[in-house]
Structure 1
Amino acid sequence: MKELEGLQHRLIEMLAALQTFTNEHGLTFFLVGGSALGAYRHQGFIPWDDDVDIAMMRSDFEKLEACMQKQDNRLGEFVYSPVENHIIPEAPIGYLYDTKHIAHGYENTAKIDIHPIDGVPENGFLRKVQMISALIYYLSEYRNPVKNKGKKIRNISKVILAVTPDFMFDLYMRMTKKIFTSWSDKDSKHICSLFGVAGYKTEVMPRSYLMPLKESPFEGKTFLVPGDTHDYLARLYGDYEKLPPEEERYPRHDIYMMYQE
């Protein structure tokens, strides 16, 4: 889509800057979600896509946050929004924002979503413990009802918010993070993007779907993607080769209008 070209070009500049930074610090990120699907199907953006999703294993993600903090959460023309000190209240993942149009608000500028990937226990009961602790962490950090997780989860989150005193949220965050990050992202047979939009049960998958990572062309550059592309995309999207109906092929945000020449 012609009107998205300016925004997508800026997002590639942001990805390239982040790639240089992570390489310098011995860290690794890879394309996930719709960006991984775009790399496979279009060797770049899905034509109507207006954002970028990447992921890092939890151990690298925590190092990224520490490295960013040392440089005041700045990366050239871009600014990093750490999980527990968000510029805009969002899901508990990292965000890299463009500063080009921040006069119009951070919600109206290009951003990259950075998802931490955690190890998952094999025991069914412990998986419920991990899922619930991640939900409580989400609520404690975001302080708003959970979105995109279904009506039942949203209603439960409203109740938790209603009965929890404000001073308890910081304690909840410390306790629950220790719980849901207890399983190694290197040694666990299964991994999960705990705050991914597909939900816990879908996001849990064999670590072998991701590792080892492989290179893929993306808008004339090269980035890493899940190694078992087929199983990874099928897990998230089912028949990922099939394009959505034409009426669904449109950008989900209006920020691209800021980047039109």
Structure 2
Amino acid sequence: MENGLKELQQRLVEMLSSFQKFTQQNGMIFFLVGGSALGAVRHQGFIPWDDDVDIAMMREDFEKMEYLMSLQHDRLGEFIYSPVEKHMIPDAPIGYLYDTLHADAGYENTAKIDIHPIDGVPKSGVLKKVQKWTSLIYYLSEYRLPVKNKGKAIRNISKVILKITPGFIFRFYMRVCKKIMTSWRTSDSEYICSLFGVAGYEREVMPKSYLLPLKEADFENKVFMIPGNYDPYLKRLYGDYKKMPPEMEQHPRHKIHELYKK
């Protein structure tokens, strides 16, 4: 075990529990996704070398959560929330819950939970392309950074757009693109998507039945919700998710854990 990794993971569980209490008190639901859902299924907790947590909320609950957080100055006890459009660190257009412990070293060096909004997906192939491209333009407009994890061609196109577009146009793009890309309600859609998930739009689009109804799962001796039909969900993202990766890949992605060692 890497020095400090267990302590970091314990802190992340504390953060999850605090966020769970907040959402339950306010009638909202979140669930583990991505590597955290994989950890719950395969390890009943963290993937042994994992150093962050990924959760998701349906768009309606996500927007409600951001509003309620704003009413308490984006604070949740010892933790601080970074809203989508007021990020403390430019990154993907999702929510982040940061630990304030070690924040003096920069929030990029402290424990965090990634909170992904889940949106409905249109049936039409044309409208799917509209949703995909408006989400990419939204990303560009908000962070003024080249798009990541979407391929070399899209990244190069985004660099050109950034050079030739004035700031006031980006602010207009943000308003319009958010309205378009979130037009399809999850309750009315057969398919859903984490628009800014690391797997990319095509792989992140999946039947809503992969997620709902949610089910309880053990995670580090706590109980959290995970996608109810987790087998096809995890296969969609990871293929043979029951197989452990090569030993050379079994290490934390960041150096955050070093600050948490006692």
Relative to the length of structure 2, the TM-score reads 0.99
1:126 maps to amino acid: L
Describe the SS at the equivalent of 1:116.
Answer: strand
Structure 1 residue 5, shift from structure 2 partner: 0.3
**1 CA distance for matches of 2:244 and 2:143?**
33
**2 CA distance for matches of 1:113 and 1:192?**
16
Partner of 1:24: 25
Matches for 1:4-15 after TM superposition, within 5 Å: 4-15=5-16
**2 CA distance for matches of 1:88 and 1:167?**
21
Partner of 1:236: 237
**1 CA distance for matches of 2:183 and 2:128?**
11
Structure 1 residue 142, shift from structure 2 partner: 1.4
**1 CA distance for matches of 2:41 and 2:52?**
16
Describe the SS at the equivalent of 1:186.
Answer: helix
Q: Does residue 1:185 correspond to 2:207, yes or no? A: no
Describe the SS at the equivalent of 1:144.
Answer: coil
Q: Does residue 1:206 correspond to 2:207, yes or no? A: yes
Partner of 1:35: 36
Partner of 2:83: 82
**1 CA distance for matches of 2:135 and 2:256?**
30
Partner of 2:115: 114
The unaligned stretches of length 5 or more in structure 2 are none
Describe the SS at the equivalent of 2:29.
Answer: coil
Structure 1 residue 167, shift from structure 2 partner: 1.4
1:13 maps to amino acid: E
**2 CA distance for matches of 1:80 and 1:210?**
25
2:146 maps to amino acid: P
Q: Does residue 1:49 correspond to 2:77, yes or no? A: no
2:32 maps to amino acid: L
**1 CA distance for matches of 2:153 and 2:63?**
31
Structure 1 residue 10, shift from structure 2 partner: 0.3
Structure 1 residue 89, shift from structure 2 partner: 0.8
Describe the SS at the equivalent of 1:167.
Answer: helix
The unaligned stretches of length 5 or more in structure 1 are none
Structure 1 residue 180, shift from structure 2 partner: 0.4
1:224 maps to amino acid: M
- CA deviation digits over 1:91-117, x for unaligned, max 9? 100000000111100010000000000
**2 CA distance for matches of 1:47 and 1:77?**
25
Partner of 2:157: 156
Matches for 1:116-135 after TM superposition, within 5 Å: 116-135=117-136
Q: Does residue 1:145 correspond to 2:146, yes or no? A: yes
- CA deviation digits over 1:113-137, x for unaligned, max 9? 0000000001000000000000000
- CA deviation digits over 1:153-174, x for unaligned, max 9? 1111111111110111111100
**1 CA distance for matches of 2:127 and 2:168?**
27
- CA deviation digits over 1:220-239, x for unaligned, max 9? 00000000010100000011
Structure 1 residue 152, shift from structure 2 partner: 1.4
Q: Does residue 1:60 correspond to 2:57, yes or no? A: no
Q: Does residue 1:104 correspond to 2:105, yes or no? A: yes
- CA deviation digits over 1:173-202, x for unaligned, max 9? 000000000001111000000000000000
1:71 maps to amino acid: Q
Structure 1 residue 2, shift from structure 2 partner: 4.8
- Identity %, equivalent residues: 69
Structure 1 residue 146, shift from structure 2 partner: 1.0
Across the two proteins, how many residue pairs are aligned to each other?
261
1:118 maps to amino acid: D
Once superposed, which parts of structure 1, at least 4 consecutive aligned residues long, lie more than 4 Å away?
Answer: none
Relative to the length of structure 1, the TM-score reads 0.99
**2 CA distance for matches of 1:160 and 1:74?**
35
> RMSD of the TM alignment (CA)?
0.6
**1 CA distance for matches of 2:228 and 2:161?**
39
Structure 1 residue 21, shift from structure 2 partner: 0.1
**2 CA distance for matches of 1:155 and 1:60?**
34
